[in-house]
Amino acid sequence: IIIIWMLAGYHLIIATTKYTEDTEDLNERISGNLNTELSVNKWLKQIQQEEIKKPNIILNQPFQKHIIYQKEQYGDMGKPVELPKDLSPEIQKIIDDGWRKNSFNQYVSDLISVKRSLPDPRDEWCTYPYRYNVKLPKTSVIICFYNEAWSVLLRTVHSILNRSPPNLIHEIILIDDFSDMDHLKQPLVDYWANEYKVRIIRNKKREGLIRARLIGTAHAKGEVLTFLDSHIEVAPGWLEPLLDRINTNYTTVVCPVIDTIKADTFEYAYGNEVFVGGFDWNLLFSWHSIPERENKNRFNPAEPVNSPTMAGGLFSISKKFFEELGTYDEGFEVWGAENLELSFKTWMCGGTLEIIPCSHVGHVFRDSFPYGPSKNDSNENYLRRNLRRLAEVWLDDYKKYHYQRRGEPDVPMGDITERIKLRKNLGCKSFKWFIDNVYPELFIPEFIKGYGMIGANQMCLDNWVESNDIYQPITLKKCYSTSLGGSQFWYYSDKNEIRKEEYCVDYSGDENIGVRLYPCHGNYGTQQWDYQQETGFIINPLSQRCLKVSDDMSNLEVKNCDSGDVNQRWIIENVRIG
Ligand code: LR7
Ligand code: MN
How confident is the model over 14-32, as pLDDT tens digits?
332 323 333 333 333 333 2
Q: Which amino acids bring their CB within 6 angstroms of ligand 1? A: 144-146, 148, 177, 206, 208-209, 212, 229-230, 258, 311-314, 334-336, 338-339, 363, 371
User: Which pLDDT score, from 0 to 100, does residue 272 have?
Assistant: 83
**C-alpha distances in Å from residue 32, one per residue of 11, 29, 36, 182, 417:** 17, 5, 9, 20, 60
Residue 352 lies in a domain: no
For residues 503 and 461, give the distance between their C-alpha atoms in angstroms, rounded to a whole number: 13
- The alpha-carbon radius of gyration of the chain (Å, integer) is 27
Q: Which of 78, 111, 144 is the last residue of a domain?
A: 111
Q: Which atom of ligand 1 is nearest to the CA of 229?
A: 13
Measured in Å, residue 366 CA sits from the centre of ligand 1 at 10
Q: What is residue 186's three-state secondary structure?
A: helix
> Does residue 34 carry a pLDDT above 80?
no
User: Which pLDDT score, from 0 to 100, does residue 546 have?
Assistant: 97
Measured in Å, residue 29 CA sits from the centre of ligand 2 at 38
For residues 489 and 482, give the distance between their C-alpha atoms in angstroms, rounded to a whole number: 12
Count CB-CB contacts under 10 A for residue 473.
12
Distance of CA 524 to the CA centre of its chain: 35
| pLDDT per residue as tens digits for the range 322-379 | 999 999 999 998 888 999 999 999 999 999 999 999 999 999 999 777 666 555 556 6
For residues 67 and 81, give the distance between their C-alpha atoms in angstroms, rounded to a whole number: 15
Bridge partners of residue 317, in order along the sequence: 225
First to last CA, the chain: 84
pLDDT averaged over every residue in the chain: 85
Q: Which atom of ligand 1 is nearest to the CA of 285?
A: 43
Could you tell me what percent of the chain has a pLDDT over 90?
Answer: 71
> Does residue 106 carry a pLDDT above 70?
yes
Residue 183 lies in a domain: no
Q: Which of 64, 88, 111 is the last residue of a domain?
A: 111
| pLDDT per residue as tens digits for the range 137-164 | 999 999 999 999 999 999 999 999 999 9
Longest dimension (CA), the chain: 87
Residue 107 lies in a domain: yes
Domain CATH for 524? 2.80.10.50
Residue 562 lies in a domain: yes
Question: Which residues neighbour ligand 2 (ion) by CB within 5 Å?
Answer: 229
Do 166 and 240 touch, CB atoms closer than 8 A? no
Of the candidates 106, 72, 78, the one whose C-alpha atom is nearest the C-alpha of residue 91 is 106
Structural domain harbouring 523: 450-575
Distance of CA 494 to the CA centre of its chain: 33
Q: Please, what sign has the CA dihedral across residues 159, 160, 162, 163?
A: positive
Q: What's the mean pLDDT in 249-272?
A: 96
Looking at beta carbons, which pairs linking 49-57 to residues 24 or more positions away fall under 8 Å? 52/21, 52/23, 54/1, 54/19, 55/2, 55/19, 55/23, 55/26, 56/2, 56/3, 57/2, 57/3, 57/4, 57/30
Residue 465 lies in a domain: yes
For residue 190, the 8-state DSSP code is H
> Does residue 469 carry a pLDDT above 70?
no
For residues 47 and 377, give the distance between their C-alpha atoms in angstroms, rounded to a whole number: 48
User: Which pLDDT score, from 0 to 100, does residue 410 have?
Assistant: 73
Q: Where are the beta strands (DSSP E) in 178-251?
A: 198-202, 224-228, 232-234
> Does residue 53 carry a pLDDT above 70?
no
Query: Residues 128, 129, 134, CA angle at the centre, nearest 5°?
Result: 125
Q: Which ligand is nearest to the CA of 467?
A: 1
Residue 250 lies in a domain: no
For residues 521 and 166, give the distance between their C-alpha atoms in angstroms, rounded to a whole number: 50
User: Which pLDDT score, from 0 to 100, does residue 320 have?
Assistant: 98
- The torsion defined by the Cα of 97, 101, 107 and 112, in degrees rounded to 10, comes to -170
Do 217 and 319 touch, CB atoms closer than 8 A? yes
pTM: 0.85
Residue 11 lies in a domain: yes
Q: Which of 111, 143, 176 is the last residue of a domain?
A: 111
Phi, psi (deg, nearest 5) at residue 155 = -65, -35
Do 459 and 474 touch, CB atoms closer than 8 A? no
| Protein residue closest via CA to atom 28 of ligand 1 | 336
| pLDDT per residue as tens digits for the range 184-193 | 999 999 999 9
pLDDT class for 568, splitting at 50, 70, 90?
very high
> Does residue 498 carry a pLDDT above 50?
yes
Measured in Å, residue 362 CA sits from the centre of ligand 1 at 13
Residue 565 lies in a domain: yes
Measured in Å, residue 299 CA sits from the centre of ligand 1 at 33
Could you tell me what percent of the chain has a pLDDT over 70?
Answer: 83
Q: Which ligand is nearest to the CA of 367?
A: 1
Quote the number of domains for the chain.
Answer: 2
For residues 507 and 540, give the distance between their C-alpha atoms in angstroms, rounded to a whole number: 8
**C-alpha distances in Å from residue 571, one per residue of 463, 494, 499:** 17, 17, 15
pLDDT class for 201, splitting at 50, 70, 90?
very high
